[in-house]
Amino acid sequence: MKKIVALVLALTLCMALAVTACADASVYYLNFKPEQDTQWQELAKVYTEQTGVPVTVVTAASGEYETTLMSEIEKSDAPTLFQVNGPVGLANWTDYCYDLSGTALMEHLTNESFALKEGDVVKGIAYVVETYGIIANTKLLEKAGYTAADITNFESLKKVAEDIQARKDELGIDGAFTSAGMDGSSDWRFKTHLANMPIYYEYKADGITSTGAIKGTYLDNYKAIWDLYINNATCEPALLASKTGNDAVAEFVGEKAVFYQNGTWAWNDISALGAENLTMIPIYIGVEGEENQGLCTGTENYWCVNAEADQEDIDATLAFLEWVITSDEGRKSMSQDMGFVVPFDTFTGEYASTNPLVAVDTEMTAAGKTPISWNFTTMPSEEWKNGVGSALTAYAAGTGDWDGVVTAFVDGWKTEYDLTH
Amino acid sequence: MEKAIRKYWPAFLLPTLAAFIIGFIWPFVWGLYLSFHKFTTVSKTTFVGLSNYVKVFEDPTFVSAFWFTAKFTVVSTILINIIAFLLALALTRGLRGTNVYRTVFFLPNLIGGIVLGYIWQILLNGILTNLGLPLLALDARYGFWGLIILMCWQQIGYMMIIYIAGLQNVPGDLLEAASIDGATSLQTLIKVKLPMVMPSITICTFLTLTNSFKLFDQNLALTGGEPAKASQMLALNIYDTFYARSGPQWKGIGQAKSVVFCLLVIVIALVQLHFTRRKEVQQ
Amino acid sequence: MTKAKVYHDGAVSGARRAVDAFLSILLTALSLIWIYPVVLILLNSLKAETAISTTSVFELPTSETFVGLDNYIHGVTQMNFLSSFGYSVVITVTSVLLIILCCSMCAWYITRVNTLPSRLMYLLCAFSMVVPFQMVMFTLSKTADSLSLNTPFNICIIYLGFGAGLAVFMFTGFMKSVPLAIEEAAMIDGCNPLQIFFRVVFPILKPTAISTAILETMWVWNDYLLPTLVLDIKKYRTIPMAIQYFRGSYGRVEMGPMMACIMITVIPIIIMYLACQKYIIEGVVAGAVKG
């Protein structure tokens, strides 16, 4: 009898182990963008109410998407829907990507170039197109006696910026450009987005779309624009390293700076200034013929469906995605609540984006400017970006010279490329 | 008696043993096994012999993380123990308000590493910005000292409590004898108190050594290893290898790193055990 | 303490009084520095989002920037912080109770039964205290996942397994000094080992149990990596995990609500600490002596 009592104790423990989840079709989306977490959660709830299919949305903490995906994908209840940032990201996850060709997503996609392909296999499909450039406060520009139309190339950008910087006290501002924010909070604006410019022009000149060894043909132009940014900012170049991304936003919203390099996603942060006072100008770096250059438009957000998931979960995920891009609720949420420009043909009329910064891009493209593509998705690794970022910071602070940036850019590219290939 | 108890092993031993196997023994053995393999998912592993271990030492981030950790461990161990001991001395003099001081100094110890990390990130970045210096995440030197300050703030109170207990165990008549013999307070400290609290010193040294060496949460929250992994410690480096680097080779290397890390900690523990044993013989 | 004090009081002199005065000032200053970080967070948690930047973090809230409890409300409602709080409580309470119960029983068995398995168990427990979590991190999360130990209730089994080392070690350290006589007397009275343990042994163990419980609570409550890797993050987040999630993408950190949540985390700890300070400090000392 006593033995039984003893065994019961041990058994209780084993009981706890034996609980297993039942396996109905469900969707598990590991979302990349924390800003849109709430909207996805709501959308998931609506879908579950309508169809009874459970949809779970988990958003990874900033900078931890890869780590979260890596630990989650190994679990028995792995994400059925995740995302990669482009060809480089895809290389690591390609085994997990379900072929999306022939799905509703593919049918509605407006442009084939928004699909991430390996041969004929569609591995990922972009769901948001974004644009970045130099966001300018037109009210302050006018106060200084300029309009956005005066800036048509690097030379005129430099002239305007330096003139504004020289008269900053008179204009009641702290500088032409916001501070850089070289910590993890916003260093991607320079080590990734700004670095896209020399890469774009090099690829264009060489007629390639990716490379294992970058030559750095346009690094002098990269230096020119970086010098312009740091020498005409709200603080001394050496002090840039003590600023964060939050500081840059605060300076721009507080009308202490005229120019702020960022993209359409930043709209919510700066909308307080009013759409009529804001515009976006292309990032000119002094390349021949750049007068015709537009804004940088592209995507680094591709949906991928987990090929290792159960077929019924895959089907449920595809059905959910179709609903998101075709139903009224889904379209409204993505275009208006999340503020995305969505590359599917179902997003027309009232479902076109209302983001004023997006409108600037549409106008420019209509006026015949050539958009700059996002080539930073071909950067060899995060390590490379960090190397360039550190070198840029050191250069600004005066603790390193420009050669350091060149080394990180050119040699670092080769090292990191060889490591992953 | 012993026989009677032995019959009841399913009740007394089994629950802990079962959980121990699940939570420790099996993962440990499995981890050891995986460190000799290349794998992305655990169902598909290829035996690669010692090549993971070779790669561990070829990985510059691991080597630099090791030196960063070693430097951090030495500096923090020395600082924490000296300050904690001095505080303990001050708090055993029977000053008014001793209890209040003790309460305050011990408090940070109860706050978790992640929370502590963010508190100090906000504070230290504020100070650095106002001085016009680079942020914690941009200069590894500030990252290093930031971690030291944070670690001191958290650990000094804990060690102080142990030293106070040690000092209170110094017999009063010994001190009296010393004072009758005309010893100055400094002599009393070195000749009488220090030898008597030697066990506390060994324990505190060991605790700070292992705590510093195994530090993870604070490192993650305060600097995240920035800039470019220059302030990354071993535990974070291992985590990074497992979960932030994608590619089939990294998991095996990560597991090999953990084994190396584990061996390092065991060596520290054995050295510590050796010293404690020697002390016990002497007394 | 008392003996040392008598000695000190007897030797009070002018010089000593001066030193004491100096020390008092020094210690007071140091105490203020010690609590300043927490005060700083408290002050900033009451400020508007726009008034918190690295440059303005030291400014006191003014009538313009003071927002009262807005950040707290925002943090609690939007981040679902209360549920994190609840999960943390559930995990900590179940884990610590389980550890105390199972490990004290296990420790008694180990000290009273001198067989190879029990000696082996003791050695393994001591060994497990040394092994860093990173060693088993990956395989443990796989194991936990395949055994469905990824809920706030089941995770206590992992904590029991991983926390057993310290607890068994502390209990055996104390048990060795408990005389066998009482237990043998109970045996003769016809008690079986379970009755002996719960009626006789466990009450004696109570001080050690409290110390162990405190050390384990401090560990489980603040643990970040284990729950992050083991828990089903689709449904459950503990407090440290929630704090970590506060960092928005593209570097926008919602500083106000984050500081509010830090305060919500810290305040109960301070209250609990002030209430059971005596036990906590005894626990620390006991842990140091045994460990």
Q: What value of ipTM does the predicted structure carry?
A: 0.87
Domain of C137? 79-245
CATH code, B242? 1.10.3720.10
b/e A391-416 (16+ beta carbons within 10 angstroms → b)? bbbbbbbeebebebbbebbeebbeeb
Q: Which residue has the higher pLDDT, B274 or B160?
A: B160
Q: Which domain holds residue B195?
A: 52-282
CA distance C256 to A238: 28
Residue of B115, B151, B175, B274 to mutate, testing the C interface (most C Cβ within 10 Å of its Cβ): B115
For residues C56 and C174, the model is more confident at C174
Neighboring chains of C (3 or more beta-carbon pairs < 8 A): A, B
**For residues A383-410, average pLDDT:** 89
Query: Is C15 a member of any domain?
Result: no
* pLDDT-based confidence at residue A151 (cuts at 50, 70, 90): very high
In tens, the pLDDT along C122-148 reads: 898 888 888 999 999 999 998 998 898
The pLDDT value recorded for residue A1 is 47
**CB contacts < 8 A (A, B):** 86
What was the pLDDT predicted at B246? 66
Proportion of chain B in helix, strand, coil states, percent, rounded to 5: 80, 0, 20
DSSP state of A121: E
Query: In the prediction, which pLDDT does C266 show?
Result: 87
Q: How far is CA A179 from the centre of its chain?
A: 20
pLDDT above 60 (res C63): yes
Residue A153: the pLDDT is 93
From C79, C42, C44, select the one nearest C238 (Cα to Cα). C79
The domains of chain A are located at 24-129+299-347, 131-297+364-420
Q: A24-129+299-347, what's its fold?
A: D-Maltodextrin-Binding Protein; domain 2 (3.40.190)
How do residues C160-196 score in pLDDT, each as one tens digit? 998 888 899 889 888 888 888 888 888 888 888 889 8
Q: What is the pLDDT of residue C5?
A: 44
Above 90 in pLDDT, residue B46? no
**Pairwise CB contact (< 8 Å): C259 & B122:** yes
Which runs of consecutive H residues, i.e. helices, occur in C11-154? 14-45, 70-78, 81-112, 116-130, 133-146
What does the mean pLDDT of chain A come to? 87
**CB-count burial class (<10 Å; 0-12, 13-18, 19+) for A268:** exposed
**Which residue is associated with the tokens 């390996």?**
A118
Q: Is the pLDDT of residue C6 over 50?
A: no
Cβ-Cβ contacts under 8 Å, A181 against chain C: 251
For B20-82, the DSSP string reads: HIIIIIHHHHHHHHHTTEEESSTTSEEE-TTHHHHHHHH-HHHHHHHHHHHHHHHHHHHHHHH
Q: Which residues of A touch C54 (CB under 8 A)?
A: 242-244, 246-247
With a cut of 80, say whether residue C81 has pLDDT above it.
yes
State pLDDT tens for residues B208-258: 998 899 999 999 888 888 777 888 999 999 998 888 776 677 888 999 999
Whole-model pTM over 0.90: no
Average pLDDT, stretch C267-282?
85
Q: Could you tell me which of A238, A193, A184 has the C-alpha nearest to residue B231? A: A184
CB-nearest to C247 from A2, A56, A62 is A62
Tokens 């004023």 — which residue?
A356
C77 or B28: whose pLDDT is higher? B28
**pLDDT value for B253:** 92
pLDDT at B152: 95
Domains contained in chain B, number:
1
Q: What is the DSSP letter of C66?
A: B
Predicted pLDDT at A409: 95
Rg for chain B, CA atoms, rounded: 23
Q: What pLDDT, on a 0 to 100 scale, did the predictor assign at position C3? A: 44
pLDDT tens, C90-115?
A: 999 999 999 999 999 999 999 888 88
Q: How far does CA A322 lie from the centroid of its chain?
A: 23
Shortest alpha-carbon distance between residue B53 and chain A (Å):
18
- Mean pLDDT check: name the lowest of A21-30, A218-227, B116-125: A21-30
Binding-site residues on chain C for chain A (CB distance < 8 A): 50, 53-55, 78, 141-142, 145-150, 153-154, 157, 192, 194, 229, 232-235, 244-253, 255
Q: Chain C, 223-282: which have a CB under 8 Å from a chain B CB? A: 223-225, 239-240, 243-244, 255, 258-259, 262, 265-266, 269-270, 272-274, 277, 280-281
For residue C68, is pLDDT > 70?
yes
In this prediction, residue C289 has a pLDDT band, given cuts at 50, 70 and 90, of low
Per-position b or e across A115-135, b if 16+ CB within 10 A of its CB? bbbeeeebbbbbbbbbbbbbb
For the stretch A211-253, pLDDT in tens is 889 999 999 999 999 999 999 999 888 888 778 887 888 889 8
Q: Region A279-297: what's the mean pLDDT?
A: 92
Average pLDDT estimate for B94-114: 89
Could you read off the pLDDT of A12-24 as tens digits, one per residue? Answer: 544 444 443 445 7
CB contact B20 to C (< 8 Å): yes
Judged by CB atoms closer than 8 Å, whether chains meet at B97 and C183 is answered as no
Q: Does residue B282 surpass a pLDDT of 80?
A: no
Confidence of residue B203 (pLDDT cuts 50, 70, 90): confident
C105 and B11 within 8 Å at the Cβ level: the answer is: yes
Measured CA to CA, the distance from residue A331 to residue A346 in angstroms comes to 8
Average the pLDDT over each of A402-411, B5-14, B46-55, C3-12 and give the range with the smallest value.
C3-12
A355/A345 Cα distance (integer angstroms): 18
Chain A residues in contact with C142 by the CB 8 A cut-off are 74
pLDDT tens digits, one per residue of A339-352? 888 999 999 888 88
Number of neighbours of residue A208 by Cβ within 10 angstroms:
11
pLDDT at B74 over 90: yes
CATH at C157: 1.10.3720.10
The string of pLDDT tens digits covering residues A299-342 is 889 999 999 999 999 999 999 999 999 999 999 999 888 888 89
State how many domains chain C has: 1
CA count, 13 A, side-chain hemisphere, A250:
18
Question: Has residue B12 been placed in a domain?
Answer: no
Asked if the C-beta of C185 comes within 8 angstroms of chain B's C-beta atoms, the answer is: no
Interchain CB contact of A5 with B (< 8 Å):
yes
Residue B158 has pLDDT above 50, yes or no: yes
Please check whether residue C262 is in contact with residue C181, taking contact to mean a CB–CB distance below 8 angstroms.
no
In a domain, B122, yes or no: yes
> Closest Cα to residue B261, out of B230, B243, B236, B244?
B236
Burial of A104 (0-12, 13-18, 19+ CB in 10 A): middle
First to last CA, chain A: 66
- Give the chain C residue nearest B243 (alpha carbons): C138
Q: Element (H or E) spanning A122, and its range?
A: strand A121-126
**Interchain CB distance below 8 Å, C233 and A58:** yes
The percent of residues above 70 in pLDDT, for chain A, comes to 94
Interatomic CA distance for residues B40 and B51, integer angstroms: 16
Percentage of chain B beyond pLDDT 70 is: 96
Question: What DSSP designation does A306 have?
Answer: B
Q: Do residues A274 and A189 touch, judged by C-beta distance below 8 A?
A: no
* CA-based nearest residue to B94, from B173, B172, B198, B159: B172
Of the listed ranges A185-199, A317-331, B1-15, the least confidently predicted one is B1-15
**Is the bond into B27 cis (omega within 30 degrees of 0)?**
no
User: Domain A131-297+364-420 has what CATH class?
Assistant: alpha beta
Is the CB of residue B172 less than 8 Å away from at least one CB of chain C? yes
The tens digit of pLDDT for each residue in A54-81 reads 999 998 877 778 888 888 888 888 999 9
Instruction: Name the nearest CA neighbour of C101 among A9, A19, B69.
Output: A9
Mean pLDDT score of chain C: 84
- Which of the two residues, C79 and A110, has the higher pLDDT score? A110
Residue A146 has what pLDDT? 93
